[in-house]
Amino acid sequence: MTEIESALDPILAKYHRDPTALLQILRDAQDLSGWISPEIRAAAASALAIAPTRIDSLTRFYAHLYDAPRGKYRILFSDNITDRMAGSVALMELMLKKLKLERGKLSADGLVSIDFTSCTGMCDQGPALLVNNLPATRLTARRIDEICGLIRAGAPLDQWPAEFFQVEDHIRRADLLLGAPKKRGEAIRAALALGAQGFLDELEKSNLRGRGGAGFPTALKWRSCRDAPGEKRFVVCNADEGEPGTFKDRVLLQSFAATLFEGMALAALVTGAQKGFLYLRGEYSFLRAPLEATLAEMRRENLLGATIGGAKNFDFDIDIHMGAGAYVCGEETALIESLEGKPGRPRIRPPFPVTHGYLGFPTLVNNVETFCNAAAIATIGAAAYASRGTKQSTGTKILSVSGDCQRPGLYEYPFGVTIAQVLEDCGAPDVGAVQVGGAAGNCLIPEEFGRRIAFEDQPTAGAFMVFANRRDPIEAARNFAHFFAHESCGFCTPCRVGTSLVAGMIDKIAAGHGAQYEFLDLKRLHDILRASSHCGLGQAAMLALGDMMQKFKPAFERRLITRDFEPDFDLDAALARARELAGRDDAAAHLGEDI
Amino acid sequence: MNTSSAPRKIRIATATLGGCFGCHMSLLDIDERLLALVEIAELDRSPLTDIKHCGAKIDIGLIEGALCNAENVHVLREFRANCKFLVAVGACAINGGLPAQRNRFDVGDILSKVYGDAPDGRSRVPDDPELPLLLDKVYPIHDVVRVDYFIPGCPPSGDALWKFLTDLIGGRTPRLDYPQFHFD
């Protein structure tokens, strides 16, 4: 056995040499040397009896799997607009300068690399970065200085001051879910007392709707999964919280994990599933160890495992499955593909996961907050639950508030709260716009602050980013456009090409080279992307931009040139290299302005 | 007898920049419909007429090929300045196409490799002012001028070109049916 093979062996054994676990195997294998080296690639492929190109398909798809060395310290600055507003770009430049590095390039000594990554879910305590997947929050110039010192000294991460990695909950307003943690086991015991059918009836009466954003009736989904034909069933919790500006799942996972796991167990009770997965986004790796500890405690307390709560035939356990930096995996069928060890490309629906999900079996996928709500319903009963919120949107919604406000953090409200109320509570005077629902959400302006957070008015998965009047909407538009261009999985042409065209056009307009031509073209692309993209990513990619172009039209138009077109690059400079090689500088060797 | 003068004919101009003339071949592929076309249209600047510069008031300019060198830019600008509708025809005009395969290399390296490896070690990169200089990259035409319509294909079929032209001349927004741009 070579050195690599013997290092890989325990990892492969842990996952029973099952190619379905390929993504997990590669994540663990990457920790051996910081990247998927050709040796690891060859050894893993031969041990799993798969083509090496299957490994390539993952390393190329997942942003946090590397097919080139990235250094002992892999620094990734969170690139959400809220990080930018808090000064992340200048801090990154400072760090690059101090370490004499170029963005995305490994230092000559192989020590460190610095780059951007999509929103890391620390918007209430940004600017943030990830160092080897560990989040460092509340960055300042001084903190960057200290981090550079530790990197130069080669200090291992466990010797860095713990306060660097402190992640605060910032619970500003608590209601049903964010109040004092429930007594562990209460929800399961209450549901067992009702029985599986009894609890499903209760869930239906509560009118709980999915909290991932789409608002599908939860009881209907659970029933469909239960009634779908199949030898086994699976319960999956979508904790791939990648929507820029959203971080409520992070807090639920950090401080209310037992409630979540109880909610998953309730889903198992109803559907008859024996196996559950928590799909945790790679950026939340720091939560894995405490979550595993909670799972272990719950097994000891007979809240997971065999005959849960002493109930015959109620066997259920949960595995944690890590993501590796792919926003699209938050789409439920992409998430299932990823669970199966493949690139997370959305499947064609129907069939829906409730009938054909993980490995083709009926699979229930719900958001973290949905499961927590299910547990709350078991505890307090449907009637008390449905008394909160509105008729069509019962219960509470957790908002992740960030941006230009005095008290960023989590605010849990009964559904129906107005935008204006949230802004008052978080301390945000002089607001120009609020981005509700993340980069894939809507941009609301003061005239719309009377609107309510509810499925029947302004639905949201939870992001609530506040922009002061002084902010330039084009900066937010550019940030979102580049986010989608980066996160498009590349499967369908409208999204792959469209998101890149959009990013290019907004850059051109922002740089002062755009004309009405580009502005109109953006509107055309808006329609094409929405109508013809394969999944929700492409369909929603221009939602916010469309809002901004309509509501902040002058902010775009004042940058437009009055001529009908100009290139966004210097044509004469494009001839420079050929001039140099030919040794020419005559008039014909130059391109003037087009008149 | 109708004495009113015939309506002015539609003026069409065509050019090939960095392309293979395949799109022009497709234009000839409309076959006997060429006769119908010349009833209502006349060709201005085009490789088919050998007219060297655009006349005034051209209605439709069809551009095949990508921008590879300075001369391509001059031709394209002349077309934009004189044509009411400028149309990118085929993959090279729209995306850079095959010529854009050089975009992954530095144009200086390419020139040195091609002309600089003489046995005597002397560079022979052509330097005659008559020869247009290469651009650093191959560009699609909409990177440099405003383009009104795009006809996809490598090349677009004669049927596609015919449908496009009859739509445009007839005042309808040009649309290609799926089979007209479905190639595999």
Kindly report, residue by residue over B81-137, the tens digit of the pLDDT: 999 999 999 999 999 999 999 999 999 999 988 887 677 767 788 999 999 999 999
* Residue-wise DSSP of A540-555: HTTHHHHHHHHHTHHH
Given this model, what pLDDT does residue A245 score?
A: 96
Its pTM stands at 0.92
Beta-carbon count within 10 A of A190 CB = 19
B136 CB neighbours in chain A (<8 A) are 573-578
| Residue A65: HSE in the Cβ half-sphere, 13 Å Cα cutoff | 25
d(C-alpha A38, C-alpha A30), whole Å: 11
Rounded to the nearest angstrom, the minimum Cα separation between A348 and chain B is: 22
Arithmetic mean of pLDDT, A252-265: 97
**In contact, A82 and A402? CB cutoff 8 Å:** yes
Inform me whether the pLDDT recorded for A468 exceeds 90: yes
**In contact, A32 and A7? CB cutoff 8 Å:** yes
User: Residue B149 forms beta bridges with which residues?
Assistant: B87
User: Residue B87 forms beta bridges with which residues?
Assistant: B62, B149
Residue B79 three-state SS: helix
A568 CB neighbours in chain B (<8 A) are 143
Arithmetic mean of pLDDT, B1-6: 56
Q: Could A565 and B145 be called an inter-chain contact, meaning their C-beta atoms sit closer than 8 Å?
A: yes
CA dist list (Å): A518 to A24, A152, B91: 43, 46, 21
- Interface of chain B toward chain A, CB-CB under 8 angstroms: 70, 73, 77, 80, 106-108, 111-112, 123, 125-127, 129-130, 132-137, 143-146
Instruction: Look at the block and give the residue holding tokens 């979508």.
Output: A238
Per-residue pLDDT reduced to its tens digit, A498-546: 999 999 999 999 999 999 999 999 999 999 999 999 999 999 999 999 9
Domains of chain B: 10-100+135-168 (3.40.50.700)
Rounded to the nearest angstrom, the minimum Cα separation between A499 and chain B is: 16
d(C-alpha A440, C-alpha A541), whole Å: 6
Arithmetic mean of pLDDT, A392-419: 97
Exposure string for B54-83, b = 16+ CB within 10 A, e = fewer? beeebbbbbbbbbbbbbebbebbbbbbebb
What is the percent of chain A with per-residue pLDDT over 70, rounded to a whole number? 100
Instruction: Look at the block and give the residue holding tokens 């709560």.
Output: A309
Per-residue pLDDT reduced to its tens digit, B134-167: 999 999 999 999 999 999 999 999 999 999 999 9
Average pLDDT, rounded, for chain A: 95
Arithmetic mean of pLDDT, B16-40: 95
Q: Mention every residue, 6+ apart, whose C-beta is less than 8 A from residue B126.
A: A582, B115
What is the DSSP pairing of strand B67-69 with strand B134-139? Answer: antiparallel
- Whether A474-557 and A73-167 are alike in CATH topology: the answer is no
| Residue A175: HSE in the Cβ half-sphere, 13 Å Cα cutoff | 19
Arithmetic mean of pLDDT, A310-327: 95
CB-count exposure of residue A27 (10 Å: 0-12, 13-18, 19+):
buried
Average pLDDT, rounded, for chain B: 92
Per-residue pLDDT reduced to its tens digit, A220-236: 999 999 999 999 999 99
Given this model, what pLDDT does residue A231 score?
A: 95
d(C-alpha B139, C-alpha B18), whole Å: 10
Query: Which CATH code for domain A398-469?
Result: 3.10.20.600
Inform me whether the pLDDT recorded for A181 exceeds 80: no
What is the percent of chain A with per-residue pLDDT over 90, rounded to a whole number? 96
Q: Could A564 and B70 be called an inter-chain contact, meaning their C-beta atoms sit closer than 8 Å?
A: no
B130 CB neighbours in chain A (<8 A) are 588
Given this model, what pLDDT does residue B56 score?
A: 81
Judged by a CB distance cut-off of 8 A, whether residue A586 touches chain B is yes
Which residue in B133, B134, B137, B173 has the most chain A C-beta atoms within 10 A of its own C-beta, making it the best mutation to test that interface?
Answer: B133
Strand runs labelled E in A368-515:
396-403, 409-414, 431-436, 442-444, 463-468
pLDDT tier, B4 (very low <50, low <70, confident <90, very high otherwise): low
Angle between helices A186-194 and A368-380 (to 10 degrees): 60
C-alpha triplet A402, A405, A408: angle, nearest 5°: 45
Beta-carbon count within 10 A of A89 CB = 15
Helices (H) then strands (E): counts for chain A? 24, 14
Classify domain A172-386 at the CATH class level.
alpha beta
User: Residue A366 forms beta bridges with which residues?
Assistant: A237
φ and ψ of B170, to 5 deg: -80, 0
Task: Tell me which chain A residue has its CA closest to the CA of residue B143.
Answer: A567
pLDDT tier, B178 (very low <50, low <70, confident <90, very high otherwise): confident
Which residue in A577, A579, A586 has the most chain B C-beta atoms within 10 A of its own C-beta, making it the best mutation to test that interface?
Answer: A577
Inform me whether the pLDDT recorded for B3 exceeds 60: no
Judged by a CB distance cut-off of 8 A, whether residue A581 touches chain B is yes
User: Residue A131 forms beta bridges with which residues?
Assistant: A75, A134
Q: Could B129 and A564 be called an inter-chain contact, meaning their C-beta atoms sit closer than 8 Å?
A: no
CA dist list (Å): A113 to A160, A544, B7: 18, 32, 68
Per-residue pLDDT reduced to its tens digit, A319-378: 999 999 999 999 999 999 999 999 999 999 999 999 999 999 999 999 999 999 999 999
**In contact, A208 and A385? CB cutoff 8 Å:** yes
d(C-alpha B71, C-alpha A330), whole Å: 49
d(C-alpha A441, C-alpha A540), whole Å: 7
Per-residue pLDDT reduced to its tens digit, A162-180: 999 999 999 999 999 999 7
Judged by a CB distance cut-off of 8 A, whether residue A100 touches chain B is no
- For chain A, what is the radius of gyration of the CA atoms? 25
Inform me whether the pLDDT recorded for A574 exceeds 70: yes
Residues in chain B: 184
**In contact, A239 and A368? CB cutoff 8 Å:** yes
Q: Could A575 and B146 be called an inter-chain contact, meaning their C-beta atoms sit closer than 8 Å?
A: no
Arithmetic mean of pLDDT, A300-313: 94
Instruction: Look at the block and give the residue holding tokens 């383009």.
Output: B147
What is the DSSP pairing of strand B58-64 with strand B67-69? Answer: unpaired
Query: Which CATH code for domain A474-557?
Result: 1.20.1440.230
pLDDT tier, A592 (very low <50, low <70, confident <90, very high otherwise): confident
Rounded to the nearest angstrom, the gap between the alpha carbon of residue A365 and the centroid of all alpha carbons in its chain is 16
pLDDT tier, A595 (very low <50, low <70, confident <90, very high otherwise): low
d(C-alpha A23, C-alpha A421), whole Å: 43
Query: Which CATH code for domain A73-167?
Result: 3.40.30.10
Q: Could B133 and A589 be called an inter-chain contact, meaning their C-beta atoms sit closer than 8 Å?
A: yes
Closest by alpha carbon to A495, among A337, A327, A367, A335? Answer: A327
d(C-alpha A169, C-alpha A42), whole Å: 43
d(C-alpha A125, C-alpha A403), whole Å: 10
pLDDT tier, A14 (very low <50, low <70, confident <90, very high otherwise): very high
Per-residue pLDDT reduced to its tens digit, A268-297: 999 999 999 999 999 999 999 999 999 999
User: Side chain identity at A162, as an amino acid letter?
Assistant: A
User: Residue A114 forms beta bridges with which residues?
Assistant: A75
C-beta pairs of A186-190 under 8 Å, 24+ apart in sequence: A186/A378, A186/A379, A187/A259, A187/A262, A187/A263, A187/A266, A187/A374, A187/A375, A187/A376, A187/A378, A187/A379, A188/A262, A188/A265, A188/A266, A188/A269, A188/A303, A188/A308, A188/A309, A188/A378, A189/A309, A190/A378, A190/A379
- Structure ipTM: 0.91
Write down the domain spans for chain A.
3-61, 73-167, 172-386, 398-469, 474-557
A517 CB neighbours in chain B (<8 A) are 146
